[in-house]
Structure formats: structure tokens, C-alpha cells
Amino acid sequence: MYLLLIPSIVFLMLACKKPKNNLYSFDPRILTENEIILSEIGDEITYIPLDNSIPLGPIFNIEFINNAIFFSSKDIGILEYDRYGRLIRKIGSIGRGPEQYIYSPAFTVDDKNKNIYVLDLGGKIKVYTEPGKFKRNILLKEYGDMIDAIKFHDSKLFVTYALQFGNSKYKWIVFDTLGRVVAIKKRMIPMFSANSGGREAIYSFENKISYFNSYTDTVFSIRPDLFEEPSFIICPGEHRIPKSNLSLEQVLNWNYLQINTVFETNHFFVIQYYYNKPAILIFDKRNKVNFLKYLEYDGKTGDLLSGIENDLDGGPWFIPECYFSEMGREYMVGLQYPYQIKAYLVSDESKKLTPKYREKKKEVVKLADSLKETDNPVLMIVRLKK
């Protein structure tokens, strides 16, 4: 299988210069701004205010499973909410006890029985039942403890490894629900050491798992038969994070591509990234068109101050963070804080915008009026067009 992939990878790298193949080639150096508005990709938007029984910090890794919403909040841990934003329960707790986790941003949920798998420090995955009770540990230290991300899909647990730390031997390993190895993929690139970290992404789409590492040039997908195939490529060049240790000056004057979010829908690739400035890229698979929006952000807080224009109901701008599908429809999920919603609705930009569904604007204003600036975030769920 490895020998079969080598010609494909060489071909893909050449395709960045001459993209004549069917795979999408992402090169931020040649992109120009070409904005898209929300009504071009979606036909309905729903707001879910998260209740305030637990004040939340930054939110990571949102997962929609059946009628529940799971996510991890900084310094709080993993929480489960219903589709109305009401807190159902806290899953486990932060701490150093045998049934606690120290680290929780990386987690995944079994969509069949709702068991929650939490990647903790030290090459360990903690498993909890949906009622929030500790079930068991899955110990992975013998395979290396530098794990990038985990994802549950098709009754299997997919684990990807950081390539830049600890002499990682593997790209990914697939486990069953008890932690027994189903398949292993060894790394194909030479060992190296880097201190910049980078960002990694793993997502499911249709019947495949796809993953990305900052130091590789290809986003790969793993099929149900566990064969790996290229999904799209990120062009190599001086804009990529080098496979070496960075100096303090290089870190402070960061000018490398940093990908924060990657996911896929039936019609789009969505990439949120930073290269000289933050941006959202939406690539239309059907028409082979790049839509690019450069984002403004607060240099002190790091908060984004702009996004995709919401001309559906005239509400706040939208930044897609993740994706899910159910009952034959697809959805993108974003996140807004109450102070951002309130500030936008009284801005000149909002007043000039004529929404497609004018009657919905009143509902957004009513929602904003019901919120305090210090309330918990509001989820924005955009239903995609068929």
C-alpha cells in the first residue's frame, strides 16, 4: 500500500504548480479576496444560547451527537447540552485523580452508545459513559504519547500522532472500543524535531475519516476498508512551517501558514487559517471556485471581529467552526459571544444590510435584548443548501 501511494504524492506536489488533476490544491500565496455571503451557501439559521448555570471559558471541539451537543470548555472540562442549549451534565472532571482528566480539549463521542473518549496527557484515553461516569482507561504509551487528535467513527477509534515530537513512529492507529489495535499506519517521512507545534485536524465526512498535520502536504482520508487516499493538498513552499526548531525571532515574527480548522461538506472544503492575516476559505467543489474572506481581529484579546456576512436574517457575521449532518441535511456550526451580537446589531454595517428574510431580523434583535454581555456563547447553526 505504501509503494502505491508514493507516485500519487509526487504527482500531487507537482500539481501545486500545474493543478491539472481533480484534487484541490490549497496555496494561500496566490489567493485573492473573493467574498461569499451566507445566503449563497445556507437557507436557514438557528441560534442556541447556552445556559448560564456554568460560566464557560473558550470552547473547543464541538460535536453534535443525536439530540445532544458536546464540547470542552477551558478549565471546566467536557459538557453535554441539549439542542435548546440547556446543560444536561458535566462529563468527568478536571484533576489528577484516577477517574479524572488533566487535559480535555481533544475528545470524541461514540454516536451509537454516547460513550465519551477523552485524550488525556501521557498517552492515555479516558472513557466515560453518557451519564458521565468513568468507565476505563485506554493506555497507548507503548505506541508513543505524542498524540495529535482522536475521532470516533464507524465503531472505531482513530488516533493520529504528532510527527514533530518524540520520534513518533506512526501516522495513525485504529482501535476498537476496548483499545485493541485494528490497523496501524507507519510514518513515511523521515524523523525530525520541531518546537513550533503546529495545528492538526481530524474530521469525518460521509464514510471516511480525514486528517491533516501541519508538517505534511497532503490531507488524507481513510476509507472504511482502512485504505488511505489523498483528499486534497496544501502546497509546499517557504510559507509552510519548517521541519526544524524556530528561533525566538522567527516565532515573534510569525509568517508561516497556520491552519486552525479544516472540514468538508458535499459541496465545499472549508479552511480557517492564518497567513499574514486570518482568513476563511470556502472552496466550491462543483464550480472549482475559491471564496476567500480576510478577517479582522482584536490584537489584544485575539477575538475575531468579522466573518461571513449574514444576509439571511441580518444577524451577526458567521465563522464556520465545524460540520454535522442529520436526516439528509448538512449544517455548519459557528459561535458568537453575546457582546459581539449586541455590538453588531447597533453597528452601521448592520443598519445598512437588507436581510433576505426581513421578519427574522426582529427575532435576532429580541434574542440580543434577552442576553447580557457576560452570558455564555450562542451557537449559530446554518443549514446548507442542497
CATH of residue 9's domain is: 2.120.10.30
pLDDT score recorded for residue 300: 74
pLDDT score recorded for residue 4: 38
C-alpha cell, 97: 485523580
pLDDT score recorded for residue 15: 43
First to last CA, the chain: 36
Give me the torsion for CA of 80, 307, 105, 218, rounded to 10°.
Answer: 120
C-alpha cell, 50: 447556552
> Helix 358-370 crosses helix 338-345 at what angle (to 10 degrees)?
130
pLDDT (tens, 9 = 90+) of the chain, 386 residues, equals 333 333 334 433 444 654 445 899 999 999 999 999 999 999 999 999 999 999 999 998 999 998 999 999 999 999 999 999 999 999 999 999 999 999 898 999 998 888 999 999 888 999 999 888 999 999 988 888 788 899 999 999 999 988 887 678 899 999 998 889 999 999 888 888 888 766 678 999 989 999 988 888 999 999 999 999 999 999 999 999 998 888 988 888 888 999 999 999 999 999 999 999 999 999 999 999 999 999 988 777 777 889 999 999 999 999 999 999 999 999 999 999 999 999 999 999 998 999 999 999 999 999 999 999 999 999 999 999 99
In whole angstroms, give the CA distance from residue 56 to residue 171: 34
Decide if 84 contacts 48 (C-beta within 8 A): yes
Domain count, the chain: 1
Of residues 189, 198, 202, 188, the one with CA closest to residue 157: 202
Of residues 253, 167, 264, the one with CA closest to residue 212: 264
Match 468538508 to its residue by C-alpha cell.
264
Backbone CA torsion sign across 199, 74, 49, 302 = negative
In whole angstroms, give the CA distance from residue 116 to residue 123: 16
In whole angstroms, give the CA distance from residue 215 to residue 238: 12
Match 467552526 to its residue by C-alpha cell.
321
Decide if 320 contacts 268 (C-beta within 8 A): no
C-alpha cell, 326: 442529520
Phi, psi of 279 (to 5 degrees): -155, 160
In whole angstroms, give the CA distance from residue 352 to residue 126: 50
86 Cβ partners below 8 Å, 6+ apart? 51
pLDDT score recorded for residue 192: 85
Q: In what order do the strands lie in the sheet with 170-175?
A: 147-153, 156-161, 170-175, 181-186
Backbone CA torsion sign across 35, 41, 45, 48 = negative
255: left (phi over 0), alpha (psi -120 to 50) or beta: alpha
Beta strand 42-49 pairing with 200-205: unpaired
Of residues 8, 25, 26, the one with CA closest to residue 259: 26
pLDDT score recorded for residue 199: 67
Residue 104's domain spans which residues? Answer: 2-384
pLDDT score recorded for residue 12: 39
pLDDT score recorded for residue 16: 64
